[in-house]
Chain A
Amino acid sequence: MFYRSVFPRDLLSELDRMQREMQQAYEFSPSIRGLARGGFPAMNVGNTPHSVEIYAFAPGIDPATIDVQLEKGVLTIAGERASVLPPREANATVHIEERFAGRFRRVVTLPDDADPNAVSAKYRDGVLHISVQRRQAAQPRRISIE
């Protein structure tokens, strides 16, 4: 996983976490678009009765170069992040290299009631927040019993 969680001074909970991740890896029914977790940008998805909220954690990118497309209920986020590593001929040593660099593309399947005409996208503090409204008819209604 991209952002690992750490539990300082608690080895047992760290082992517990590893076990949970292993279970998830095996029991997860794989999507046709590959494993849902991992990759860049990391993503969180949330739902409200009126909208689907997608958060893509893509720090240090010019928002003008991020390509967001919605086609047939599939949302695609694509772009490129430049490497900060020095050229090979430079007189510098790379001690740790963990950050993502290069082209990226991630895809999210939206629920059927997502409205492709009511999408908003904001980029703040390195997080791309996309909000897709749900169509009115699909919202839950209470049916009164006569």
Chain B
Amino acid sequence: MSDNTKVTRKPEAPASDMALLPPVDVIEDAGGITLYADLPGVPKDKLNLQVEGDTLTIEGEISLTAPEGMESSHAEVSLPRYRRMFTLSKELDANKVSAEFNQGALKLRIPKAEHAQPRRIEIAVQ
């Protein structure tokens, strides 16, 4: 019953390499970076977040329920997978990333490392 290949078109090239690019918002404030990503159709257990070195990878498998024998007639979400990568900069603390995933919307918070927090620099006038 739950077969997502029927909802999305079959990929023509090596399946493992093809993915949709999810839209994101990236906002930076004094304490760190907040990233929002749209991954509709991905259940919580099919979402894969990974930080390796300075690369953040967001990946998710789409899982939709389709009735038996369904034929796709129009597909805008045409692949069963999302993937997007970002390069983190040095002042971000990759060990303290926190994530919320709710109804296909991902919110990631990547705080800045202690030493990189902004400090007001006093200007001495002589």
Contact = CB atoms under 8 A, between A and B. Distances in A.
A94 B27 contact: yes
A126 B75 contact: no
Interface in B60-94: 63-79, 82-83
A25 interface: no
Contacts of A129: 64-65
Given A36-B74, A125-B103, A55 B64 contact: yes
B74 A43 contact: yes
A8 B17 contact: yes
A131 B65 CA distance: 11
Contact of A10 (B13, B42, B63, B69): B13
Given A98-B24, A98-B25, A129-B65, A7 B18 contact: yes
A131 to B, nearest CB: 8
A99 B29 contact: no
B43 to A, nearest CB: 5
Given A86-B29, A129-B64, A5 B23 contact: no
Interface of A, secondary structure class, is loop
Contacts of B27: 84-86, 92-95
Contacts of A3: 20-23, 76-78, 82
B7 interface: yes
A59 to B, nearest CB: 3
A90 B82 CA distance: 31
Contacts of A99: 23-25, 36-38
A41 B40 CA distance: 10
B6 A125 contact: no
A49 to B, nearest CB: 7
A97 interface: yes
Contacts of A104: none
B29 A100 contact: no
B21 A59 contact: no
B2 to A, nearest CB: 11
Contacts of A86: 27, 29
Contact of B105 (A50, A60, A96, A131): A60
A2 to B, nearest CB: 7
B19 interface: yes
Interface of B: 6-8, 13, 17-30, 33-34, 36-43, 63-79, 82-83, 102-105
5 contacts: A59-B40, A60-B103, A99-B36, A126-B103, A127-B104
